[in-house]
Structure 1
Amino acid sequence: MRLSYPADVKIIQVPCTGRVDILHLLNAIEDGADGVYVAGCLEGECHFKEGNFKARKKVEYVQRTLTELGIEPERVRMYNLSSAQGARFAEIANEMVACIRELGPSPVKKHHAA
């Protein structure tokens, strides 16, 4: 099955979503990403036992931080799905891109010294 999702979605694979750090999410936004989503195992089916629960807590923390900064928390989300749900993955990618387009570009851009 050939999956179709927007070309502006960049996939970064990790052994477990529990390895995703709060700083990874915040740095992605700071570096110019308009949104970030974490796609983890179905709840209760994590090979590493609690990785997806840890990831969800980190995503929720980042959402609270964005809210405190006056940035839409919807720019960072967590989804749970199995590796057999490729079609759902593509659907989520399209949903996330549509949400971000509606929100518009991120108000945060990293300023590089020239």
Structure 2
Amino acid sequence: MRLTYPTNIKIVRVPCTGKVDVMHLLRCFQEGADGVYCVGCMEGNCHYNQGNLRCRERVEYIHELLEEIGIEGDRVRMYNLSSGEGPTFAKYAQEMTDHIMSLGPNPLKAKPRKAAASA
């Protein structure tokens, strides 16, 4: 089965979402990502015990942090899926892309610098 999801999504695979650190999430925004979402195991079914719960806590923390600095906290989300739910993954990818498009670009994106004129 071929799944279709937006081409602007970059997938970063990790052994467990519990390995996704706050710094990883913040760096995504710092480097210009308009939004970030983590997809982990169903709650209660984590192969590494509670990795998905740790990731959810980190995502919620980043949500609050973004709100504090005046950026929509909804630019970061957490989804839980089992490995057999490919069509649902594609649906969530489209949903997140549509949501981020409605919010607009990341306000932290570096604006191009003007070249210094030489005298």
Q: What displacement does 1:111 show?
A: 7.1
Report the TM-score when normalising by structure 1. 0.96
Q: Please list every run of at least 4 consecutive aligned residues from structure 1 whose deviation after the TM superposition is greater than 2 angstroms.
A: 110-114
SS at match of 2:70: coil
Report the TM-score when normalising by structure 2. 0.92
2:36 corresponds to which residue? Answer: 36
CA distance in 2, matches of 1:51, 1:110: 33
Identity level (%): 54
CA distance in 2, matches of 1:76, 1:38: 8
C-alpha offsets along residues 20-59 of structure 1, whole Å, 9 cap, x if unaligned?
0001001001100000000000000000000000000000
Q: Which blocks of at least 5 consecutive residues in structure 1 are unaligned?
A: none
SS at match of 1:67: helix
CA distance in 2, matches of 1:25, 1:110: 17
Pair member with larger Rg: 2
Q: RMSD in angstroms over aligned alpha carbons?
A: 1.5
CA distance in 1, matches of 2:81, 2:39: 7
